[in-house]
Amino acid sequence: MSRSLPLIPLLCAACMFAAAQQVGQNKVAGTDQGYTLSVQSQLVVEAVVVKDKQGHFIPGLTAKDFQVTEDGVAQEVRYCEPEDLTTDAKVLPASTRKTEDVHIYNRLARTQIAPEAMGSPKYKNRRLIALYFDMVGMYPPDQIRALNAAEQFVRTQLTSVDMVSILRFEGGGVDILQDFTTDRNRLLSILETMAVGEGQGFADTTDDSSSSDTGAAFGQDDSEFNVFNTDRQLSALQTAAHMLGRVSEKKSLIYFAGGMRLNGIDNQAQLHATVDEAIRSGVTFWTIDARGLVAEAPLGDATVGSQGNQGMYTGAAAQAVSDNLHMSQDTLYALAGDTGGKAFLDNNDLDRGIVDAQNAVSDYYVLGYYSSNTAKNGRFRRIKIALASNAGADLNYRQGYYADKDFTKFTAVDKERQLEDALMLEDPITDLTIAMEIDYFQLNRAEYFVPIIVKIPGRELALAKKGGYEHTLIDFVGEVKDVVGGTTVSNVRDDVNIKLSDATAAELARRPIEYDTGFTLLPGRYQIKFLARDDETGRIGTFETTFTIPNLNKEEKRVPISAVVLGSQRVELNQALYDAAKAKDRIKADAVNPLVADNKKLIPSVTRVFSTTRDIYVYFQAYKQTPSPGNPPLFAFVSLYKGDNKVYETSPMAIAPSTASRLGTMPLTFDLGVKGLEPGPYECQVTILDPATQKANYWRAPIVLVE
């Protein structure tokens, strides 16, 4: 009865149904990779403001007029490009845009500032202003003031040469809500629709004479947590400066924050790293205290409880309140002063601080030269620039930069930064070949377990000798984003140390390395970006694709099934080739992984190439959420096709829905003995039939058999 169902329509529907499973790789199989010619040269770009003794800009200079030395060695200036910001600079008419004209953009966040293409006039004669909102460092009233000031500037103070970008930090990372643009309406729409209250929960707390008496027992000092919170804020600011460094012109970053308090010397290293990155990237910080004019009561305002200690009688509490305020402003002052900007403190006219930053950037020259020092040692190189014909001219420029580094000289921080940058790049790096399979299995009526299997050819990995054995270290980082909203829903970061004996090291050149992880996701459409880096050579491979998790609860026309997994290996869990850094997390993931049974894990074949000397395992799950009278079984079988001819088929397997599962989960496993089949391409088809409901489902995929 089940075989009388119309075959062609069901097959077409099954193809649409099984499209969520993703199998692919970042390089086309069988293509020649060719040779790469590598030339070491470092282009150094400097923005130079040249003024005479009266403070007026000196126009008409060329590359021959400048003398540039790097660590005392003369450099040849290859190009000199003037940036004219005053000739056509006119304040745009005040915007008359109404509130009802606000347009909410579905996808605001970008991952990177677009660099200037060679020969592109995009940033020519433009003043670049980045509005950066530290939502972690501002309470809701401060956020409202900062957003209102930015809106006021965009509405009334924007000129014809200004390009503005909007960045936001709310605890999870730096979001680029808008790249540099002159579209005033888009900027206003983003500012007016930014949610107030985001990023809260990381603000500094106090543990001194000004602390409120909560009656709580003695616990960990609040300053322990403040150290990490401040480091996160400074690290995010460093990331923002690094993003802006992709543009050669001068950049002004307007930093809105409700103060930032350093914790002794604990945050000094990150503060220096942030300032160094800003100088390296040609970014000037203009810090604005979003609290405005602060006039606190001696013992605190109504938002805090009573101190309840003797400090309120001796004046120590009032002094602590004042000291905390000044220390929170000192950091803003240092960030601005060390990068050539200015701190705007104790003033309620916040948009005036943006105007000051705007007026500070006038005409300048962009110089470029290729450094004669090709050593990639990461050291600081001091630059001196002078005019050949006017020694008395006043030149303002970056005093030096840090050279690039070879991967062998990278510190732990440098390596993490390289992975972060590679993850944000729009153009993926494909030095390593990566193949990936994405499957899905229903956990409950809302969630799905999504195992990710990554395969890397062993011949592309480098080996190192450590502790008497060969090993290779691979760094993995991945990010899953919601396609509709553009938000990150899950991520993974893992370091895999593969220890190899002499025998397995010799086989590595002929066998791939497989890595698996998993996520728990809701039904929807997602984008995954996954990176693998060989920690011996620094070579990186990127895999990027979109996939869909279907809502099987709404499946009415076919028998709902999970992804179908094909493999030829089941390995003991204690015989893993590598030791993951997060073993506890892996054990927890294996507990919900349906590919793990009887302390063995089915290893999916990502490439779906199988040997005729080994059996092929087929695993999937079927679901029957609505019980039928008598709990009748389902029938399933697997077939292999060579062209239009069926050459192999298993016996039908009957399985009844589990009464203990609300989903009626039915796991099905088949062993295909393909020893007698000829090598070559085949089509593998899985057929599922439900005689009780007259429903069916089909899954089909190509495989290859080799000797």
Q: What is the DSSP string of 20-36?
A: G-EEEESS-TT------
* pLDDT of amino acid 581: 38
Cα–Cα distance for residue pair 327/263, rounded to 1 Å: 9
Cα–Cα distance for residue pair 184/158, rounded to 1 Å: 8
The more confidently predicted of residues 472 and 238 is: 238
pLDDT at residue 253 above 70? Answer: yes
* pLDDT of amino acid 218: 37
For residues 248 and 347, membership in a common domain is answered with yes
For residues 472 and 382, membership in a common domain is answered with no
pLDDT at residue 302 above 80? Answer: no
pLDDT at residue 34 above 60? Answer: no
* pLDDT of amino acid 503: 65
For residues 47 and 116, membership in a common domain is answered with no
Q: In the 8-state DSSP scheme, what is residue 693?
A: T
* pLDDT of amino acid 493: 87
Which CATH number fits the domain that encloses residue 21?
2.60.40.10
Is the distance from CB of 250 to CB of 282 less than 8 angstroms?
yes
**Bridge partners of 331?**
none
Determine which of 12-21, 149-158, 253-262, 424-433 has the lowest per-residue pLDDT on average: 12-21
* Mean pLDDT of the 553-564 span: 90
Q: Is residue 640 part of a domain?
A: yes
The more confidently predicted of residues 307 and 112 is: 112
* Mean pLDDT of the 255-277 span: 81
Q: Is residue 218 part of a domain?
A: no
For residues 72 and 158, membership in a common domain is answered with no
Cα–Cα distance for residue pair 700/607, rounded to 1 Å: 15
For residues 542 and 667, membership in a common domain is answered with yes
Cα–Cα distance for residue pair 114/105, rounded to 1 Å: 19
Q: 0.85 exceeded by the pTM?
A: no
Q: Is residue 22 part of a domain?
A: yes
- The share of the chain scoring above pLDDT 90, in percent, equals 29
Work out the pLDDT band at 440, boundaries 50, 70, 90: very high
Determine which of 40-44, 64-68, 140-144, 158-162 has the lowest per-residue pLDDT on average: 40-44
* pLDDT of amino acid 264: 65
For residues 398 and 430, membership in a common domain is answered with no
The more confidently predicted of residues 201 and 626 is: 626
Which residues contact residue 366 at a Cβ distance below 8 angstroms, ignoring those fewer than 6 apart? Answer: 45, 46, 47, 48, 80, 81, 82, 83, 248, 249
Is the distance from CB of 233 to CB of 137 less than 8 angstroms?
yes
* pLDDT of amino acid 13: 34
Expressed as residue numbers, the domain containing 144 is 111-207+231-353
Residue 560: CA count within 13 A, CB half-sphere: 20
For residues 281 and 188, membership in a common domain is answered with yes
pLDDT at residue 36 above 70? Answer: no
The single residue listed with the structure tokens 């395969």 is: 455
pLDDT at residue 107 above 60? Answer: no
Each residue's pLDDT tens digit, 584-593: 555 555 667 8
* Mean pLDDT of the 167-176 span: 83
Each residue's pLDDT tens digit, 510-554: 777 888 888 899 999 999 999 999 888 888 989 888 999 999 988
364 burial (CB, 10 Å; 0-12 / 13-18 / 19+) is buried
Work out the pLDDT band at 668, boundaries 50, 70, 90: very high
Which CATH number fits the domain that encloses residue 156?
3.40.50.410
Cα–Cα distance for residue pair 356/352, rounded to 1 Å: 6
Angle 140-156/350-360 helices, nearest 10 degrees? 50
* pLDDT of amino acid 122: 83
For residues 439 and 301, membership in a common domain is answered with no
- The share of the chain scoring above pLDDT 70, in percent, equals 77
For residues 583 and 675, membership in a common domain is answered with yes
Determine which of 225-229, 230-234, 492-496, 498-502 has the lowest per-residue pLDDT on average: 225-229
For residues 461 and 333, membership in a common domain is answered with no
Each residue's pLDDT tens digit, 669-705: 999 998 889 999 999 999 999 988 889 999 999 999 9
Work out the pLDDT band at 200, boundaries 50, 70, 90: low
Nearest partner of 265 among 238, 230, 219, 317, judged by Cα: 230
Q: Which of 318, 353, 388 is the last residue of a domain?
A: 353
Determine which of 7-16, 362-371, 408-417, 606-615 has the lowest per-residue pLDDT on average: 7-16
Q: Is residue 217 part of a domain?
A: no
Q: Is residue 609 part of a domain?
A: yes
622 burial (CB, 10 Å; 0-12 / 13-18 / 19+) is buried
Each residue's pLDDT tens digit, 441-462: 998 889 999 999 888 888 888 7
Q: Is residue 57 part of a domain?
A: yes
Taking phi over 0 as left and psi of -120 to 50 as alpha, with beta for the rest, 71 belongs to left
For residues 542 and 620, membership in a common domain is answered with yes
Q: Is residue 97 part of a domain?
A: no
For CA atoms 146, 149, 151, 153, the dihedral sign is: negative
Collapsing DSSP to helix, strand or coil, 613 comes out as coil
* pLDDT of amino acid 217: 38
Determine which of 104-113, 127-136, 145-154, 232-241 has the lowest per-residue pLDDT on average: 104-113
* pLDDT of amino acid 230: 81
Work out the pLDDT band at 118, boundaries 50, 70, 90: low
Work out the pLDDT band at 33, boundaries 50, 70, 90: low
* pLDDT of amino acid 468: 56
Work out the pLDDT band at 637, boundaries 50, 70, 90: very high
Each residue's pLDDT tens digit, 70-92: 999 999 999 898 988 877 777 78
* pLDDT of amino acid 466: 56
Cα–Cα distance for residue pair 543/606, rounded to 1 Å: 13
For residues 202 and 323, membership in a common domain is answered with yes
Each residue's pLDDT tens digit, 374-405: 888 878 889 999 998 888 899 988 888 878 77
Query: How many folded domains does the chain comprise?
Result: 3
pLDDT at residue 247 above 80? Answer: yes
Each residue's pLDDT tens digit, 338-356: 898 999 988 888 989 999 9
Most confident of 40-49, 129-138, 171-180: 129-138
Is the distance from CB of 254 to CB of 129 less than 8 angstroms?
yes
Determine which of 39-48, 60-69, 536-545, 583-592 has the lowest per-residue pLDDT on average: 583-592
Q: What is the mean pLDDT of the chain?
A: 80
* Mean pLDDT of the 596-616 span: 86
Q: Is residue 203 part of a domain?
A: yes
